[in-house]
Each structure stands twice: as C-alpha cells, then as structure tokens.
Structure 1
C-alpha cells in the first residue's frame, strides 16, 4: 500500500470542506445539537435556582411526586 503525505494546510482545507458539506446537507444535526445545548443550559439554570442548600428528605420528595 502506498502512503502519501499531506500538508497541514491541505488537511485543514479537507476537514473544513467536509464539515461544511455535512452541515449543508444535514442541517437537522446542527439544529438538534443547538436545541439540546439550550435545554441542558435551561436545566442547569433551573437546578441552580432551586438549590437552597436545605436538606429535603426522600419521603417528602416522594409525597410531592404522588400529589
């Protein structure tokens, strides 16, 4: 098998073209990734907002879930 060398510039160009091609042809991938990132961020903010530092027993949590 023959090997050929590729310069860093050529490799960067090939990778860039591949990424552009994928994002152009599969816009849903980027949309899904951004949507998931936003949801993760919102969950993190909600957790921080609800964190009072007070201990809540398991039974209290379960009783609220059963309501």
Structure 2
C-alpha cells in the first residue's frame, strides 16, 4: 500500500476547495446554519446584557405600556 503525503499548502488548498464546494452545493442549509449561529450569539449577548441591567417589577412595565389619554 502506498502512502500519500501532502505538504501544508497542498492540504490547505484541498480543504479550501472542499469547503467552497460544500457551501456551493448546500447553500440553503449553510445559510440556515449561519442564521442559527447569529441568532444564538444575539440571544447570548441579550442575556448577558440583561444580567447587568436594572430590574423592574411587572406593574411598572405594564404601567408604561398603558395608553395615555
């Protein structure tokens, strides 16, 4: 059995080609995957920000939401 050896540059080019082909052939799935990642990051940031902001009670929130006459 013969052994195939690749230098780092060859490996890099092969991996790049494989990734580009994967994205091209599965564009919709990749887009959905990236959208999920972005949503997860946004949720994580919102939670972290919420942990450092002032707390309000339920009544004060609903009072702000009441229509002004």
Structure 1 moving runs of 4+ over 6 Å: none
What is the CA RMSD across the aligned residues, in angstroms? 2.1
Give the number of equivalent residue pairs.
54
User: C-alpha separation between the residues in 2 aligned to 1:3 and 1:31?
Assistant: 37
1:23 aligned onto 2:23: yes
- How far has the Cα of 1:49 moved from its partner? 4.4
Q: Structure 1: where are the runs of 5+ without partners? A: 55-67
Choose 1 or 2 for highest CA Rg.
Answer: 2
Stretches of structure 2 that go unaligned for 5 or more consecutive residues are 56-69
Normalised by the size of structure 2, how large is the TM-score? Answer: 0.59
